[in-house]
């Protein structure tokens, strides 16, 4: 059965399996001690999405080597946000594990190398099984006789092996990994913006009749007949009568001419003002409290 990195199997694994939290990066400690051996690089799941291994980056503990730890050999401390590798108890044991590299294919042969190291700790009542395993996963697989004998004695091979056959390696103890959450309701005030109305602003043309008074002038010719003081006196005989002599005088008058011109009368500024008012509301909130009932002693 093929194994996948959890982030490749489900990119949304944090929401699906850990309630938005991330197991990657958690510190991991050897056995049940305070000896930090590294951190969780990722987790490997099978084709059904079940957790099978934690990939542990040992950091400076073993010069940056990454190894696999079966999930059943780990204890998760939720409050301390750390993981205890109960099946990984010594540096010598970690050095005998095959190295895990990003991008490699974890197949049955590689897993048998890993399981061979941990079986020496999980098989009760039997003498320790010495497993001299290659450190590099890319090296040719040469199963130690003791590990191969264990697989043969258990009655499985690469075609018949299932993880259920070794629950001590892959069956997580729910009592050690359960996270109990208490919830409470909080009043969250939100505002939504919606259209309350609309103001249309335009112009219209109104008409009115205007009256204006304009004084105009016109000229007229006034002809007056007067008797000169020399009336009756004789004139020079040489002065001829000029019957054809005509005098001309131009006469002008003013007329009223009206035209219309547009002028700026006033300006109107348009703007919006925001008024704030307090809206009060009440709601009943619920909260969970832990209730422990003890029985017996």
Count, residues in the chain:
297
Q: Are 141 and 110 in contact (CB under 8 A)?
A: yes
pLDDT value of position 129: 32
pLDDT value of position 137: 31
Higher-scoring residue by pLDDT: 275, 289? 275
pLDDT value of position 56: 92
pLDDT value of position 70: 93
pLDDT value of position 131: 30
Question: pLDDT digit string (tens) for 155-189?
Answer: 678 888 988 888 889 887 654 444 555 667 788 88
With cut-offs at 50, 70 and 90, classify the pLDDT of residue 229: confident
DSSP letters along 69-88, please? Answer: EEGGG-EEETTTTEEEETT-
pLDDT value of position 253: 92
Neighbours of 154 (CB within 10 A): 13
SS3 category, 146: helix
With cut-offs at 50, 70 and 90, classify the pLDDT of residue 124: very low
Higher-scoring residue by pLDDT: 17, 111? 111
Q: What is the largest CA-CA distance in the chain?
A: 182
pLDDT value of position 140: 32
Name the least confident of 63-67, 194-198, 259-263: 63-67
With cut-offs at 50, 70 and 90, classify the pLDDT of residue 286: confident
Q: Are 55 and 44 in contact (CB under 8 A)?
A: yes
Burial 10-20 (b: 16+ CB within 10 A, else e): eeebbeebeee
> Is the Cα dihedral 57, 59, 61, 64 positive or negative?
positive
Q: Is the pLDDT of residue 69 over 80?
A: yes
Mean of per-residue pLDDT scores for the chain? 79
Cα distance between residue 181 and residue 288, in whole Å: 9
Q: Is the pLDDT of residue 99 over 50?
A: yes
Name the least confident of 142-156, 188-202, 208-222, 242-256: 142-156
Mean pLDDT of 218-235: 84
> Is the Cα dihedral 121, 124, 128, 134 positive or negative?
negative
pTM (predicted TM-score): 0.50
Name the least confident of 80-84, 183-187, 202-206: 183-187
Percent share of the chain, pLDDT over 90: 14
């Amino acid at each position: 059965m093929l194994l996948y990195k959890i982030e490749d199997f489900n990119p949304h694994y944090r929401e699906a399996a850990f309630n938005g939290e991330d197991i990657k990066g958690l510190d991991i400690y050897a056995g049940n001690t305070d000896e930090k051996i590294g951190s969780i690089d990722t987790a490997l799941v099978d084709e059904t999405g079940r957790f099978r291994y934690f990939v542990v980056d040992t950091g400076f503990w073993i010069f940056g080597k990454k190894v696999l730890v079966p999930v059943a050999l780990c204890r998760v401390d939720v409050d301390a946000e750390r993981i205890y590798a109960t099946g990984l108890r010594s540096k010598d044991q970690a050095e005998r594990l095959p190295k895990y590299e990003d991008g490699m294919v974890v197949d049955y042969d590689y897993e048998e190398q890993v399981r061979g190291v941990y079986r020496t700790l999980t098989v009760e009542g039997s003498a320790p099984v010495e497993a001299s395993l290659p450190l590099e996963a890319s090296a040719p697989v040469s199963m130690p006789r003791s590990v191969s004998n264990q697989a043969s004695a258990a009655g499985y091979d690469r075609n018949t092996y299932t993880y259920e056959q070794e629950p001590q390696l892959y069956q997580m103890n729910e009592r050690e990994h359960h996270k109990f959450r208490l919830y409470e309701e909080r009043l969250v005030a939100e505002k939504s913006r919606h259209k309350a109305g609309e103001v249309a602003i335009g112009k219209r043309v109104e008409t009115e009749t205007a009256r204006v008074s304009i004084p105009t002038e016109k000229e007229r010719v006034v002809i007056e007949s007067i008797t000169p003081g020399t009336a009756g006196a004789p004139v020079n005989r040489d002065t001829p009568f000029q019957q054809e002599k005509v005098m001309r005088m131009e006469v002008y008058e003013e007329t009223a001419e009206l035209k219309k011109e547009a002028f700026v009368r006033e300006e109107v500024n348009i703007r919006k003002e925001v008024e704030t008012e307090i809206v009060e509301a009440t709601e009943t909130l619920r909260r969970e409290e832990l209730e422990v009932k003890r029985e017996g002693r």
